[in-house]
């Protein structure tokens, strides 16, 4: 698992590193959806756009040799997915003295 975000209905969207997919889980941990991503190592999903209606997912090439990179031509790209869910704004956090 590599990076997660929660949508407005409480589903947890998680990038499954090495498996070319994003999974959505209930708060109880039941997987309810799996979306394919055109890169082997998806990472760091985040809801973006107007009303947080799109899921942005990065992908990585970390740990891939030349052969693996050639076999995964979409490594290192960013994807915007229409997942039929809406995210929510992340809370503002201030670290340090007020």
Residues marked as catalytic: 2
Contact 22, 15 (CB under 8 A): yes
- Residue showing tokens 């799996």: 34
Which of the 8 DSSP states describes residue 89? P
Contact 29, 56 (CB under 8 A): no
């Amino acid at each position: 698992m590599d990076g997660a975000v929660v949508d407005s209905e409480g589903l947890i969207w998680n990038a499954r590193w090495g498996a070319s997919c994003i999974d959505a889980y209930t708060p109880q941990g039941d997987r309810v959806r799996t979306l394919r991503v055109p890169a082997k190592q998806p990472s760091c999903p985040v809801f973006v756009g107007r009303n947080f209606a799109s899921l942005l997912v990065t992908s990585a090439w970390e740990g891939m040799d030349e052969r693996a990179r050639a076999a995964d031509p979409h490594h290192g790209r960013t994807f915007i997915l229409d997942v039929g869910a809406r995210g929510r704004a992340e809370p503002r956090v201030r670290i340090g003295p007020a």
